[in-house]
Amino acid sequence: MSTTEETKPQLIPTKIWKCRNADCKAWVRDEFAVESQLCPMCKGPMLRSMRHLPAVQNKIKRKPKPKNEYGL
């Protein structure tokens, strides 16, 4: 099975956090990272970097509708 240009996802420059440990291959997209990001695999320090990745469509978290006094 061969891939064509139409089936390849468009890659865009994306900010990431990658593990400083050369033996660890872990990385996290910046939009999914926390403020004091530690490596999710080895718990070591991480550094900012860039990678060309396919775009991700984040789901919007909706607030639950407030219930009225009757619980409906």
> What is residue 17's three-state secondary structure?
strand
DSSP state of 1: -
pTM higher than 0.85? no
Q: Cα separations (Å) of 31 from 8, 11, 13, 35, 45?
A: 23, 16, 13, 10, 18
DSSP state of 63: P
pLDDT per residue as tens digits for the range 6-17: 678 889 999 999
Phi, psi (rounded to 5 degrees) for 46: -125, 155
pLDDT of residue 6: 66
Residue tagged 């997209």 (tokens)? 29
pLDDT of residue 37: 85
